[in-house]
Amino acid sequence: MRLRNIPGAREHLKESSYVIDTPEEWKGHWREYFKNDNPLRIEIGTGKGCFIVQMAQENPDVNFIGIEKYSSVLLRAVQKQEEAQLTNLVYLRYEAELLEDVFAKDEVDLIYLNFSDPWPKKSQQTRRLPCKEFLRLYSNFLGADGHIEFKTDNRELFDFAVDEIVPGGYQILQITYDLHNDPAMNAGNVMTEYEKRFSGKGNAICKCVIERSGAQVTLI
Ligand code: SAM
């Protein structure tokens, strides 16, 4: 998601109490940050925050962190939270590539990857958030029993992601190629901005839920 640059976005984020400016300082201490022992779920590439705000509203006993690299996009998510004022949701303006600096081993219980950018060229595939290199990175902070949930309407990206699961050190728990017509997997589904937009055009939504396989993965 690319928005035109919004003047003042960075400054607004810097001043907002819902954006953690130096998240590295909380590595290993996020439960202290939230002042409870509730599970921690993160959304990487949170966009304008529609999904994570609703998730945080519906799950007050879970802590949520939304992560987005572009200030002008994150600004929209932060403005939603400034209205909602939820105590279980904060944001980071951060790059997925650097998240090891922010989360300690086993600190995250669930990772959402919603409608990740497709990066269609083969030369760009290591930028796709569900690629095996990222999956291995996530293992450094996702708990052993943790899950990753990935949704997209982009069939090419989904097929790519499914092929990356085993090399990335994970296994499939649940999979569907038509989420909205799969009563079991769609139960309690919260739609993202992109999901509303693309399902509104008639596109089927693919979703998989994966867990760490525990297999020894050789880092390249
Ligand atoms: N998750 C939202 C949704 O489903 O409506 C937004 C989807 S949008 C296509 C993908 C978002 O991921 C963009 O806002 C983009 O800036 C963000 N993103 C892509 N790569 C990222 C990275 N490496 N680190 C953090 N955010 C990233």
Read off the pLDDT of each residue in 93-99 and give the average, rounded to a whole number.
Answer: 98
Is 117 catalytic? The answer is: yes
- pLDDT at position 193: 97
pLDDT of 36 strictly over 60: yes
pLDDT band of residue 215 (cuts 50, 70, 90) is very low
CA distance 60 to 177: 30
| Domain 30-212, architecture per CATH | 3-Layer(aba) Sandwich (3.40)
Pick the residue whose CA is nearest to atom 18 on ligand 1: 45
Decide if 199 contacts 207 (C-beta within 8 A): no
Residue 195 CA to ligand 1 centre (angstroms): 13
- The maximal CA–CA distance of the chain, rounded, in angstroms, is 47
Average pLDDT in the chain: 95
Work out the average pLDDT over 73-93. Answer: 97
Mean pLDDT of 153-175: 98
- State whether residue 63 is helix, strand or coil: strand
Q: Residue 137: pLDDT above 90?
A: yes
DSSP 19: B
User: Which helix (DSSP H) or strand (DSSP E) does residue 54 occupy?
Assistant: helix 50-58
- Residue 48 above 70 pLDDT? yes
Predicted pLDDT of residue 2: 54
Q: Put residue 54 in one of left, alpha, beta given phi > 0 → left and psi -120 to 50 → alpha.
A: alpha
Task: Report CA(215)–ligand 1 centroid distance (Å).
Answer: 29
Radius of gyration (C-alpha) of the chain in whole angstroms: 17
> Which member of 37, 61, 101, 117 is catalytic?
117
Q: What is the mean pLDDT of residues 177-193?
A: 98
Q: Which amino acids bring their CB within 6 angstroms of ligand 1?
A: 1, 44-47, 67-70, 73, 95-97, 114-117, 129, 192-195
Residues in the chain: 220
What's the predicted TM-score (pTM) here? 0.96
pLDDT at 220 over 60: no
